[in-house]
Amino acid sequence: MSAEVVLKIGDEILADAQAEAKRKIEEAEKYASELKEKARLEAESEAEKAKAKALENVKLLEGRKLSEARREASLHILKERNTMISSAFQEAVKRLKDMVNEEAYLRSLSSLIETSVKQLGFNELKIKLNAKDLRRQAEIIKRLKLPPTVKITVDKDPVSALGGFIISTPDERIKIDETFEAKLTYAERKFKKEISKLLFGE
């Protein structure tokens, strides 16, 4: 074979080898480029998911914290309102303590006893007073305008109360508690809303 032919064949073999080498390197570079792009896209997608999750967590946290803050604020306001309403009742107790020495109290006592007698509808009744009123029971009884058939007995044992009375049938099966304490307890339940309106102008 001539050297020229061998050289030509050799050149072809080398050219093929170089082409194959180039193809392999290009393939590797293409793979590299695709892998990098794929990694970038996947990572970006994961990053977006993580950021969305963080935002979701922020919203949840905000909802929870603000709801907690609002609940605490409402409780604080409610507590303060109740404290102020209680102050009004405490102030009323002080005023009532002072009033038991006044004519207005005796007038009120007489009027309330007369009303209670009518409500009970019995001719014989027993009344309990506190120690101070027991001492002036004659004055209290004297003020009463009752039907002549009604007989009232004053219990000798004083009732523990700031003022007012307990009126009952002699056997105490039916009674009306008109002591200040009982009326205040009732008023606190029944008039809390009204007192709140009066205090806060709502």
Partner 1 sequence: MDVILLSSVETIKKIHEIEERARRIIEEAEVQAEGIRKKVEAEAEKIRGEIAERARRESEETMKRASADIGKKALDVRKEAESKVKSLKEKASMNMDKAVNRIVEEVLGVKP
Name which of residues 108 to 127 contact partner 1 (CB under 8 A). 108, 111-112, 115
Determine, following the binding rule CB under 8 A, whether residue 131 of this chain makes contact with partner 1: no
Determine, following the binding rule CB under 8 A, whether residue 95 of this chain makes contact with partner 1: yes
Q: Distance (Å, rounded) from C-alpha 153 to C-alpha 130?
A: 14
Q: Distance (Å, rounded) from C-alpha 107 to C-alpha 99?
A: 11
E strand or H helix at 45: helix 3-99
Determine, following the binding rule CB under 8 A, whether residue 43 of this chain makes contact with partner 1: yes
How wide is the angle at C-alpha 120 spanned by C-alphas 117 and 125, nearest 5°? Answer: 60
What is the nearest approach in angstroms of partner 1 to the Cβ of residue 192? 10
Determine, following the binding rule CB under 8 A, whether residue 21 of this chain makes contact with partner 1: yes
Determine, following the binding rule CB under 8 A, whether residue 40 of this chain makes contact with partner 1: yes
Given candidates 117, 129, 161, 195, which one binds partner 1 under the rule CB under 8 A? Answer: 195
| Cβ pair 99, 105 in contact under 8 A | yes
The amino acid present at 7, given as its one-letter code, is L
Nearer to partner 1, 131 or 199 (CB): 199
Locus of tokens 């305008």: 145
In sequence order, what are the beta bridge partners of 154? 127
Q: Distance (Å, rounded) from C-alpha 10 to C-alpha 30?
A: 30
Among the residue ranges 80-88, 119-127, 128-136, 139-147, the one whose residues contact partner 1 (CB under 8 A):
80-88
Among the residue ranges 129-137, 152-160, 165-173, 192-200, the one whose residues contact partner 1 (CB under 8 A):
192-200
Among the residue ranges 91-99, 120-128, 135-143, 152-160, the one whose residues contact partner 1 (CB under 8 A):
91-99
